[in-house]
């Protein structure tokens, strides 16, 4: 066997350490401290949760203190304590409004996912169809939803149907666009391989292009899930369900007309929390589907 004589600094010299070719230099094992591993809950809390939580606490404390010192009236600019009090006093109505808006946003988002992916697949199957139809999808996206909403109310009637349709229209284009980009970004060598094995267009779409487009599809869903909440609230402004079944859009309208500014803030923050929860759910689904093979989830 070959022998190599090296010194500590790597320069061959007499009296050094002998190593055979079968041996390797390995660093000495280091002991890890308890609770310091990269996957420990304490480390995850310190890295991901603690910094934004500290910023939130400092921001709310500064907000409360500044409004108290300036002696601003609650109907002009409420303190965080005023918002909490208003949410507690109108807790039942707020929960009903949140539940109504969630139902509308989820339905609109579900329709946007189903139809957005389906239309993207149809467009990806033929470049001629894509060039003919895709520009009109862009035009539909550029039209302000406030201008289209009255027409939707005329066609579908005021209430849940019109609101779900408005939420769908706002959330539809990001899924269509991202899915189509993903389907068109499939590696050319893999498509050639499927072609050599005489795979049909549908086999190529189902077994190659859709799995390859999954990260793009989920990215579009992350955008659309929050937009569906915005669409539902905008729809409630125009075609909302009034009374005890009104959503957050209706609650915001009533609170603004009555100068209930604290409750207005509570409704707006509830909508923001709803959008964040939707995003976190889709993000968790994305990590679960992609964590074993895609860099975006592995690195995350």
pLDDT band for 300, please (50, 70, 90 cuts). low
* Residue 157, pLDDT above cutoff 70: yes
* Residue 35, pLDDT above cutoff 50: no
Instruction: Give, rounded to a whole angstrom, the gap between the first and last alpha carbons of the chain.
Output: 46
The predicted pLDDT at position 105 comes to 95
From CA 33, how far away is CA 171, in angstroms rounded? 47
The predicted pLDDT at position 243 comes to 57
Helix, strand, or coil (residue 11): coil
Residue with the two structure tokens 């860099």 = 295
Taking residues 236-242, report their average pLDDT.
76
| Least confident range of 47-56, 71-80, 175-184, 275-284 | 47-56
Positive or negative: CA dihedral 292, 294, 298, 300: negative
Task: Select from 127, 208, 223, 140 the least CA-distant residue to 178.
Answer: 223
pLDDT band for 239, please (50, 70, 90 cuts). confident
From CA 245, how far away is CA 97, in angstroms rounded? 7
pLDDT band for 278, please (50, 70, 90 cuts). very high
286 within 8 A of 220, measured Cβ to Cβ: no
| Least confident range of 8-22, 188-202, 214-228, 247-261 | 8-22
Percent of the chain topping pLDDT 70: 84
The predicted pLDDT at position 39 comes to 60
From CA 67, how far away is CA 80, in angstroms rounded? 9
Contacts of 172 (CB under 8 A, 6+ apart): 111, 112, 115, 116, 224
145 within 8 A of 231, measured Cβ to Cβ: yes
| Least confident range of 7-11, 66-70, 100-104, 261-265 | 7-11
More confident residue, 264 or 9: 264
From CA 94, how far away is CA 269, in angstroms rounded? 11
* Residue 245, pLDDT above cutoff 70: yes
From CA 211, how far away is CA 244, in angstroms rounded? 44
From CA 66, how far away is CA 79, in angstroms rounded? 9
173 within 8 A of 142, measured Cβ to Cβ: no
Helix, strand, or coil (residue 187): coil
Compute CA 153 distance to the chain's CA centroid, rounded to the nearest angstrom. Answer: 28
């Amino acid at each position: 066997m070959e022998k190599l004589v090296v010194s500590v600094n790597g320069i061959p010299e007499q009296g050094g350490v002998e190593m055979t070719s079968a041996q390797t230099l390995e660093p000495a094992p280091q002991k890890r401290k308890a609770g310091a591993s990269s996957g420990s809950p304490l480390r995850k809390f310190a890295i991901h949760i603690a910094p934004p939580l500290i910023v939130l606490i400092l921001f709310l404390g500064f907000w409360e203190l500044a409004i108290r010192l300036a002696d601003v009236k609650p109907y002009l600019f409420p303190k965080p304590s005023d918002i909490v009090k208003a949410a507690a006093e109108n807790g039942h109505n707020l929960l009903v409004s949140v539940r109504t808006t969630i139902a509308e946003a989820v339905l609109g988002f579900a329709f946007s996912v189903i139809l957005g992916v389906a239309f993207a697949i149809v467009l990806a199957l033929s470049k001629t169809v894509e060039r003919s139809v895709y520009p009109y999808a862009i035009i539909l996206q550029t039209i302000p939803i406030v201008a289209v909403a009255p027409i939707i109310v005329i066609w579908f009637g005021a209430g849940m149907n019109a609101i779900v349709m408005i939420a769908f229209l706002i959330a539809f284009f990001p899924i269509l666009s991202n899915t189509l980009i993903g389907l068109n970004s499939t590696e050319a060598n893999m498509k050639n391989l499927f072609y050599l094995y005489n795979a049909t267009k549908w086999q190529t779409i189902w077994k190659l292009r859709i799995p390859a487009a999954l990260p793009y599809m989920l990215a579009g869903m992350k955008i659309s899930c929050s937009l569906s909440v915005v669409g539902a609230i905008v729809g409630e402004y125009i075609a909302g369900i009034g009374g005890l079944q009104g959503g957050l859009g209706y609650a915001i309208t009533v609170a603004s007309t009555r100068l209930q500014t604290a409750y207005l803030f509570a409704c707006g923050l509830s909508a923001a929390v709803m959008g964040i929860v939707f995003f976190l759910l889709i993000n968790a689904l994305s990590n679960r589907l992609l964590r074993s093979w895609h860099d975006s989830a592995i690195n995350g």
